[in-house]
């Protein structure tokens, strides 16, 4: 039996089906979220053996003039964890005012309540928590597919979108493309997990600031110790954080969602450390997590995937009914959201 949330005509952004303004950030956000929802419904259609015309997934992309280019299937459980959508272009002489729609959107879902894919979803969550997502089948498939599409059609024609752990896959793909290939993909990442205790949920601002400062001092100290007592190099060749700083993904965070809300504090704290005269410690700490430092000391890749230099943060501070709603994808196409926007652009300060 289909739930109401699976049916586009009942819960989707139907207000966009008559007119889409690709210059409108709210329209772009709503469409990117809907395309991600399409991946969830593709997997539910598969699990419940819903075939056309009973299948519920197609309206989630066809309503915005996309077609399903390819599905991405997990090698282990054969579940659909991602999809590539291709925009059905109008006549060649037609031009859009301002921004053009993407030709391709690569999308990745998060966990789904399905017995057939639950084990692999949980495994992916664990990979994400221990900063080992690169070893997962889904990341490998997603990375190879993204490189293929970008190589064939060009970076300007490709978006990445994801939700929950699917955002972590998208985030890691975006990092790899920027750091290793100099390619900066337009990325829409909804509720990306932040592997850290939820300090942001503490109401007392002084306690919160104290914990963050202490954590920054410890993290920066460990980073220096792991580097033989020397400050890490600010040379872009040796500092992946500086290389990544020109890639600015769109992050969509709900302040009530403990899975992702720490991104709010992560970026705000960096500014506060500058204000209190501890900017050097703040900039060093923001590049590292204690887990990544320990991994680096053991000879493993010490790059913490969830730590990013720059981002365009959209924060939903609307009241939510609980974690399920605040972490859900449906919130991101609602028209009554209370949103805050902030661009965080990382810049390394050099001594004169």
- Please give the pLDDT value at position 208: 65
- Please give the pLDDT value at position 140: 95
304 against 24, higher pLDDT: 24
CB 178 within 8 Å of CB 245 = no
- Please give the pLDDT value at position 297: 46
Q: Do β-strands 250-254 and 186-190 pair in parallel, antiparallel, or remain unpaired?
A: parallel
Provide the pLDDT confidence category of residue 18 given band limits of 50, 70 and 90: confident
Provide the pLDDT confidence category of residue 351 given band limits of 50, 70 and 90: very low
Give the least confident one: 61-65, 97-101, 316-320: 97-101
Backbone angles phi, psi at 107, to 5 degrees: -125, 150
Q: Helix crossing, 165-181 with 137-153: angle to 10°?
A: 50
Q: Do β-strands 80-87 and 104-108 pair in parallel, antiparallel, or remain unpaired?
A: antiparallel
Give the least confident one: 135-139, 169-173, 200-204, 308-312: 200-204
Provide the pLDDT confidence category of residue 183 given band limits of 50, 70 and 90: very high
87 against 197, higher pLDDT: 87
Nearest residue to 246 via CA among 179, 342, 180, 313:
179
Q: What is the rounded average pLDDT of the residues 303-332?
A: 86
Rounded to whole angstroms, how far apart are CA atoms 326 and 320?
6
Q: What is the mean pLDDT of the chain?
A: 82
DSSP H or E stretch at residue 180: helix 165-181
Give the least confident one: 191-195, 205-209, 276-280, 287-291: 287-291
Provide the pLDDT confidence category of residue 304 given band limits of 50, 70 and 90: low
CB 64 within 8 Å of CB 16 = yes
Other C-beta atoms closer than 10 Å to the C-beta of 29 total 21
CA R_g for the chain: 20
Contacts of 228 (CB under 8 A, 6+ apart): none
- Please give the pLDDT value at position 294: 44
CB 285 within 8 Å of CB 219 = yes
Provide the pLDDT confidence category of residue 104 given band limits of 50, 70 and 90: very high
pLDDT digits (tens, 9 = 90+) for 219-258: 555 555 655 555 555 555 567 778 888 999 999 999 889 8
Three-state secondary structure call for residue 16: helix
- What domains can be seen in the chain, in order of their start residue? 4-199+239-278+306-344 (3.40.50)
- Please give the pLDDT value at position 58: 97
- Please report the DSSP string for 107-174 in residue order: EE----S-TTTHHHHHHHHHHHHTT-GGGSHHHHHHHHHHHHHHHHH-GGGEEEEEETHHHHHHHHHH
């Amino acid at each position: 039996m289909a739930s109401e949330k699976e049916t586009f005509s009942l819960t989707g952004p139907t207000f966009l089906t008559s007119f889409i303004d690709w210059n409108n950030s709210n329209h772009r956000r709503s469409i990117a979220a809907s395309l991600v929802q399409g991946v969830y419904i593709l997997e539910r259609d598969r699990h419940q053996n819903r075939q056309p015309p009973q299948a519920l997934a197609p309206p989630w992309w066809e309503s915005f003039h996309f077609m399903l280019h390819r599905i991405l299937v997990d090698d282990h459980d054969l579940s659909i964890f991602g999809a590539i959508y291709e925009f059905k272009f109008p006549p060649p002489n037609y031009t859009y005012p301002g921004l053009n729609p993407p030709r391709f959107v690569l999308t990745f879902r998060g966990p789904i309540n399905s017995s057939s894919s639950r084990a692999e979803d949980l495994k992916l969550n664990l990979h994400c928590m221990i900063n080992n997502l690169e070893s997962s089948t889904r990341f490998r498939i997603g990375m190879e597919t993204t490189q293929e599409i970008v190589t064939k059609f060009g970076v300007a024609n490709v978006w990445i979108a994801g939700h929950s752990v699917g955002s972590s896959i998208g985030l890691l793909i975006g990092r790899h493309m920027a750091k290793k290939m100099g390619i900066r993909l337009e990325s829409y990442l909804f509720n990306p997990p932040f592997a850290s205790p939820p300090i942001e949920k503490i109401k007392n601002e002084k306690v919160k600031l104290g914990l963050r400062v202490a954590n920054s001092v410890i993290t920066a100290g460990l980073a220096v110790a792991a580097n033989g007592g020397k400050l890490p190099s600010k040379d872009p060749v040796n500092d992946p954080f500086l290389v990544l700083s020109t890639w600015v993904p769109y992050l969509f965070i709900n302040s009530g969602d403990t899975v992702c809300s720490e991104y709010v504090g992560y970026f705000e704290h960096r500014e506060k450390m500058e204000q209190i005269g501890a900017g050097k410690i703040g900039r060093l700490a923001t590049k590292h997590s204690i887990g990544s430092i320990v991994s680096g000391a053991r000879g493993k890749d010490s790059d913490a995937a969830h730590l990013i230099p720059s981002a365009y943060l959209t924060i939903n501070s609307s009241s939510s009914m609980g974690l399920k709603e605040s972490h859900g994808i449906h919130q991101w196409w609602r028209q009554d959201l209370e949103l805050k926007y902030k661009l965080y652009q990382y810049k390394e300060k050099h001594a004169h």
